[in-house]
Amino acid sequence: MLLVITFIFCLFLGRFFYIQVIWKGKLHYLALDQWTREIPVHAGRGKIYDVNGELLAGNTAAYSVYARANAVENAERAADTLSGILGLSRDDLAAKLSDKSKSEIVLLRKTGKETVEALSGQDIRGVYFARDDVRVYPYGSLACQVLGFTSYDGSGTTGVEGYYNSFLAGENGEILYETDLVGVDLEDAVPAYLPAEDGLSVRLTLDYRIQSLAEQVMARALSASQAKAARAIVLDPSDFSVLAMVNLPSYDLNAIPRDDISLLNTLSRNALVSDIYEPGSTFKIVTAAANIEEGLKGNSRALPLGHVYSSSRTRTVDGTTIKCWSDHKNGKHSNQTLAEALNNSCNPCFVDIALALGEETFYDYLETFRFGRATGIDFSGESIGMLLPESVVKDCDLARIGFGQTIAVSPLQLACAVSSAVNGGYYYAPRLVEELFSEDGSVSKKTEKKLLGRTVSEETSRILSSMLEGVVRDGSGKKAFIEGYRVAGKTGTAQKYENGRIAQGKYVSSFVGYFPANEPKYLALIIIDEPQGSYYGSTVAAPCAGEIFQGIIDMMQLPKSEG
């Protein structure tokens, strides 16, 4: 009996300990919740600035109106008064205020200061309001797919707003009022104030001046070519910071089409990060870089820099005939060097390179340039592209990959790969955010440039840049040429596929270029999707890059290149 009594006593003692010590915090919260009502104190959402400190996303004052039905003395009379102030149905308000089953009711969200001023003058018991700011975007549609937007409750949904929501959102506070069991305020009770902690602000790497310039140029191109879409990305090749991202058509962040989800999903998608396409001849930069690097390493399979490629307009691989575009346009084809092959964008020459390097070596470079995997940008929804597994690739596949077919990449992947090929071989993680900071100016987190690996040597970059400068000076990229400035680049024109077959008359026209060629600071990838009429990258996309570069030169007052 003594043992039984001792055991039972220990059980009670253990239960008391659990309730008083371990469960204490939760019970205290439950008691507090039962005897108090809370008015939310919304945290100020962090702002978003461009690299220069220009405000791109901010807040304007707004309020939400709440009610506790148990504390409303006369629901019918309160509904009469509130309907006029809030602009809501009197009958709906009366029904809500009479429903005692709910402790708290939201009557109106995101209303203006004049509404709460009118409400304050009425002193309706059980009805109160709290600050609930509205997100505003001073530049409307500018960089809308990059910035993203918030939901009705102010939480980040897409873009930077979504990716960095945990930093931007902050921590809400509340004001606690003591009440009786039915939720009526106790007289002379002193409210407790738990302050909100505002969110951190974000400084992007984006430059709103370059973004605005690029959007204007691409809008003209979209209209002139009557294309399906026009896109552009501008990077700093020295650290892969994103200076501009343009996706057209776009939409106004202050008038989000929330009632048409399909349209909103289409317009808000950052296709430069999330979508993939066959890059066509712009990919020849990667093939050329691999061949030059292997040649400098002494690989006997690499075609030497002085190699003269056959004048034959075609190559037949595994029964598949690959033609040079000039077979259709000029009717003339001659022997040429690698530099000339880049100038003329000759497919057969790059077939020769891919097959000469072989499957293993070429795939090593594809991996080194991070095709088939994420670049590491601080943005949700990044595509890794489509790359045939090395184990199943055939010679005809390898041949086509050499000139940018049978491989699908995101525009960001290609821009980063080219940046690495021409900046000395350094591949950094692309970034959209430079730092996170509080409103007092103290920096909480700074995003430094991050080297992910080396792709080619500085000598390879130098040789390749010299060739690509020739493409703009003498070859297919002439419409991006700027007198006195060392612009380099490569055009691309790729056929589109639908249901596994070539879609007749549908093309993707592109150009990737940069300057100065000897020390790249600005790189632009231009993509025009399904232009009507002329569809060559040389005539549709290259002029856009030239306009953007000229605009940057004028904006930054950059001096002409020496030599």
DSSP string, 341-378: HHHHT-HHHHHHHHHHHHHHHHHHHHHHTTTTS----S
- Average pLDDT value for residue range 184-206: 79
Q: Within 13 A of 314's CA, how many CA atoms are on the CB side?
A: 10
Q: Which of residues 70 and 557 earns the better pLDDT score?
A: 557
Q: What is the mean pLDDT of the chain?
A: 90
Q: Which of residues 402 and 305 earns the better pLDDT score?
A: 402
- Please check whether residue 416 is in contact with residue 370, taking contact to mean a CB–CB distance below 8 angstroms: yes
Is 29's pLDDT higher than 60? no
CB neighbour class for 528 (10 Å; exposed up to 12, middle 13-18, buried from 19): buried
Q: Residue 465 — very low, low, confident or very high, per pLDDT cuts 50/70/90?
A: very high
- Average pLDDT value for residue range 158-172: 94
Radius of gyration of the chain from Cα atoms?
31
* Other Cβ atoms within 10 Å of 209 Cβ, number: 18
Lowest mean pLDDT among 150-154, 266-270, 330-334: 330-334
Residues of the chain with pLDDT > 90: what percent? Answer: 63
- Average pLDDT value for residue range 246-274: 96
Q: Residue 104 — very low, low, confident or very high, per pLDDT cuts 50/70/90?
A: confident
Using DSSP, state whether 507 is helix, strand or coil: strand
Helices (H), 369-517: 395-402, 411-422, 458-474
What is the reported pLDDT for 201? 96
Is 329's pLDDT higher than 50? no
CB neighbour class for 172 (10 Å; exposed up to 12, middle 13-18, buried from 19): middle
What is the reported pLDDT for 331? 45
Strand residue runs (E) in 85-220: 105-111, 127-131, 134-136, 173-178, 192-194, 201-204
Q: Who's near 550: CB < 8 A, 6+ residues apart?
A: 482
CB neighbour class for 90 (10 Å; exposed up to 12, middle 13-18, buried from 19): middle
Tokens of 182: 């039915």
What is the reported pLDDT for 68? 80
DSSP for 94-132, written as a single string:
HHHHH-TT-S-EEEEEEE-HHHHHHHHTT--TTEEEEE-
Domain annotation for the chain: domains and CATH numbers: 59-69+97-135 (no CATH), 208-556 (3.40.710.10)
Buried b (16+ CB within 10 A) or exposed e, 5-42: eeeeeeeeeeeeeeeeeeeeeeeeeeeeeebbbbbbbb
- Average pLDDT value for residue range 84-110: 85
DSSP code at position 478: G
Q: Which of residues 85 and 330 earns the better pLDDT score?
A: 85
The Cα-based distances of 491 to 302, 487, 538 in angstroms read 24, 13, 6
- Average pLDDT value for residue range 81-89: 89
Tokens of 23: 């469960």
SS (H, E, C) 264-312: HHHHHCCHHHHCCECCHHHHHHHHHHHHHHHHHHCCCCCCCCCCCECCC
- Average pLDDT value for residue range 144-163: 94
DSSP code at position 409: B
- The Cα 157–Cα 155 span in angstroms is 6
First to last CA, the chain: 104
Is 335's pLDDT higher than 90? no
Lowest mean pLDDT among 34-43, 198-207, 359-368: 34-43
DSSP code at position 228: S
Is 133's pLDDT higher than 90? no
Is 189's pLDDT higher than 80? no
Q: Who's near 175: CB < 8 A, 6+ residues apart?
A: 38, 39, 41, 191, 192, 193, 194
3-state helix, strand, coil in the chain (%, to 5): 40, 25, 35
* Other Cβ atoms within 10 Å of 73 Cβ, number: 10
Q: Where in the sequence numbering do the catalytic residues fall?
A: 281
- The Cα 557–Cα 291 span in angstroms is 37
Is 328's pLDDT higher than 60? no
Is 79's pLDDT higher than 80? yes
Rounded to two decimals, the pTM is 0.87
- Please check whether residue 538 is in contact with residue 479, taking contact to mean a CB–CB distance below 8 angstroms: yes
Is 528's pLDDT higher than 50? yes
Residues shown for the chain: 563
Q: Residue 554 — very low, low, confident or very high, per pLDDT cuts 50/70/90?
A: very high
- Average pLDDT value for residue range 17-23: 79
Q: Who's near 6: CB < 8 A, 6+ residues apart?
A: none
